[in-house]
Amino acid sequence: MDAVKVIEIKKSVYESNDREADKLRAELKAKGIFLLNLMSSPGSGKTTTLKSVINKLKSEYRIGVMEADIDSDVDALTIARETGVKSIQLHTGGMCHLDAGMTRQGLDELIDSDIDFAILENVGNLVCPAEFDTGATKNAMILSVPEGHDKPLKYPLMFSICDLVLINKIDVMPYFDFDMEACKKNILMRNPKATIIPICAKTGEGIDEFANWLREEISKNR
C-alpha cells in the first residue's frame, strides 16, 4: 500500500478541449463509468472529504481515484492507505489545471482496474480548472469556512460551473466570521441550480448527504 503509481501527464494536443471533453463524457457513459471532477482552493479538504465519502461507498461501487498535483504524491498515498481503493497520482508538470486530454491519460491507467466510479481530484485552484472541461459527468467543488463566504463574488466561473458545492469545515464556524446564509445566497447568485451541502469531512457531518447525492447522480447516468 505504500507505493502509488505516479503518472507525469503531458500537455494535451487537442485543438478543441470542449469537443474532446464531450467525446470523453460520451465514451465514459457508454462504458457505464461515472466521473466526478472535484475542485477547490489549496487546503479546502478535498482529500479528507474523498476519504470519508469513499469509505461510505466502496462496497457499492468499484472506485478509482486520480490525484492531480504539481508535485508530491501525499494525496494518492493517503487515499490508497485509508480507503484501499485504487489511487494514482497525476503530476501536471507545473500546469494549473487538467483538461480532457490530460484526464484521459489518467483514466487510461485507472480503467484497467475495472472501475465504475472514477474521481478526479483536480489541482487546488479556484481559477484555471474552471476554464477547462475535463469530460467529467459532474463537477463538484469545496469551499471551506476559513476561506470566507465572499468567495463566489471573486471566483464567479468556478461557482457557476459546479453542480454541487460542499461547504466544508463547518465545525470551526464559531472561530471565523463566516455567514452561512450569505454564502448560500452568493453561491445561488452565481448558479441557481447548484446543490449546496454543508459538511465536516473530519467529523463526518454531511457526508451521508454527499454520498446520497453521488448515488443519485450515478444512477441517473446509467
Of 146, 160, 196, 217, which lies in the binding site for its own copies, with binding defined by CB under 8 A?
146
Q: Is 82 in the site for its own copies (CB under 8 A)?
A: no
Rounded to a whole number of angstroms, the minimum distance from the CB of residue 69 to its own copies is 5
Burial class (CB in 10 A: 0-12, 13-18, 19+), 3: exposed
Q: Is 89 in the site for its own copies (CB under 8 A)?
A: no
Q: How many residues bind its own copies (CB under 8 A)?
A: 33
CB 88, CB 115: distance < 8 Å: no
Q: Is 189 in the site for its own copies (CB under 8 A)?
A: no
Instruction: Output the CA torsion sign for 130, 136, 137, 142.
Output: negative
DSSP result, 170-212: GGGGGGS---HHHHHHHHHHH-TT-EEEE-BTTTTBTHHHHHH
Q: Is 114 in the site for its own copies (CB under 8 A)?
A: no
CB 165, CB 190: distance < 8 Å: no
CB 142, CB 196: distance < 8 Å: no
Query: Based on CB atoms, which residue is closest to its own copies, 16 or 203?
Result: 203
Instruction: Name the segment binding its own copies (CB under 8 A); options: 18-26, 52-60, 101-109, 126-134.
Output: 126-134
Rounded to a whole number of angstroms, the minimum distance from the CB of residue 148 to its own copies is 5
* Half-sphere exposure of residue 62: CA atoms within 13 angstroms, side-chain side: 9
Q: Is 35 in the site for its own copies (CB under 8 A)?
A: no
Residues in touch with its own copies (CB under 8 A): 41-43, 69-72, 74, 94, 96, 123-128, 131, 144, 146-148, 150-151, 153-157, 169, 171-172, 175-176
